Amino acid sequence: MSRDVPIHSWPGSYYINNEKRWESGTLSLSRTMVCFVSSLSKNCLVSFRLSCIIEIKMESSSFIFSTLTVLEEGNVKHWFGSLKPNRVVVYNVLEHFWRERLLSPTSEAQGAECQISKGRELINLVTGAQRRLEDTGRALSHQGEQFDNMMQGLEKIDSDLGVADKLLSELESPPWWPFGKFPWKAQQEAKAEDAARAAAVLSAGKGSSRNKVITSIPAVVSKGGDSDLKPGCLLVLVSSLEVRDTNCQLLHKFERNEIDEIRVCNPYEITVRQRFIGKPDICYRFLSAKMPEALSVLEMQYKKKVEFTSEYTTFKATPSVCGKEGTHWREGLQQTGRESELPLEVPAGELSQLQVQVLQPSVSQAEAQELKQ
């Protein structure tokens, strides 16, 4: 923990099972670890790696107190209570970083984590994928119900429009008028059709380039403070930034000229602000394990509006725990490339195949026997 700067911290309490009591302190999340430090003794009561977590749940202690539990390898269960602002916020942030670490581990994370067997890695990946599929199934079921309600509403609107069209046709062409439609009605309809056609062409030309998505990352989103952090996503478009929830519903859209400040708190947390005179500012906060991917794009698009805080400088100054491992890894990769006659420069279309061949290590007989068991 000494080498890792906390990404986020929450005041709360931890249950010491040996002494049968609660100890107040601070729960901290870093790049690779979760740690709880006592506020009295300033000692670390418990710390464990994100890769060793099996399950994160919200439970109740003695059927009264709301708590957050973390199940570690070896069937070790940790209880955290009295979390501020609330346990839902802490659960959303911890689960986001834990799942992103399981589903898309980077070379830095692999160098910092303890070496675990391939069987355990596959079990963790399958467990995370199963939970993600369950959540996706529930979301799709909810969307299906919404689509059914929409279809019923559209059918009702269509029937109402059919009745209205019959009434209008009778009014526009009464039986006593022998020349079809009234002449002024025909001119108005022609002008309206031309205007609609021109507007459609203009909007199609503008929308194709302005609404192009540059990058999209999953994130934990909050409007204003820390009390309402919820899962969602951040979309970086050519002309705007969009905030969406887990159902892809638009929560807010920042036009490019409306953004006044993008404050980078650390490589995994940013705040986007739009200022107003005479009314409150609109401010959204984003926490994401994939935030470094979006930061490079935001720095290019909003050069004068991006502001780096002192916390970000501290993160950059912190020595990487796997710097040497990364150097040896790159040297080994080059040597492997020479032995297997893989090209160092690859066309764009063949990049994914090369990554699969180089990054996937061969499985030994002992590891294959372990997976069979």
pLDDT of residue 1: 42
pLDDT of residue 174: 64
Residue 305, judged by CB atoms within 10 A of its CB (0-12, 13-18, 19+), counts as middle
- What three-state secondary structure class fits 182? coil
pLDDT of residue 345: 43
pLDDT of residue 105: 52
For residue 8, give the DSSP letter. Answer: E
Residue 269, judged by CB atoms within 10 A of its CB (0-12, 13-18, 19+), counts as buried
pLDDT of residue 14: 92
> What residue ranges in the chain does DSSP mark as E strands?
8-16, 21-29, 33-38, 44-49, 53-61, 65-72, 76-81, 213-223, 230-237, 240-245, 250-255, 261-266, 269-274, 282-287, 306-308
Q: How far apart (Å, rounded) are the C-alpha atoms in residues 10 and 82? A: 10
pLDDT of residue 109: 47
- What three-state secondary structure class fits 145? helix
List 240's β-bridge partners, or say none: 255
- Checking 144-147 for CB contacts under 8 A at 24+ apart, the result is none
Low-confidence ranges of the chain (pLDDT < 50): 1-2, 107-109, 111-114, 321-330, 333, 336-360
Write down all domains in the chain, each with its CATH number in brackets. 8-120 (2.30.29.30), 213-317 (2.30.29.30)
Please count the other Cβ atoms lying within 10 Å of the Cβ belonging to residue 71: 15
Query: C-alpha 47: how far from its chain's center?
Result: 25
* pLDDT one-digit tens code per residue, 344-359: 444 444 444 444 444 4
Contact 268, 32 (CB under 8 A): no
Cis bond upstream, residue 105 (ω within 30): no
Q: How far apart (Å, rounded) are the C-alpha atoms in residues 287 and 218? A: 9
pLDDT of residue 339: 44
Neighbouring residues of 218: CB distance < 8 A, sequence distance ≥ 6: 96, 100, 231, 232, 233, 288, 290
pLDDT of residue 37: 92
Please count the other Cβ atoms lying within 10 Å of the Cβ belonging to residue 234: 23
Q: How far apart (Å, rounded) are the C-alpha atoms in residues 168 and 170? A: 5
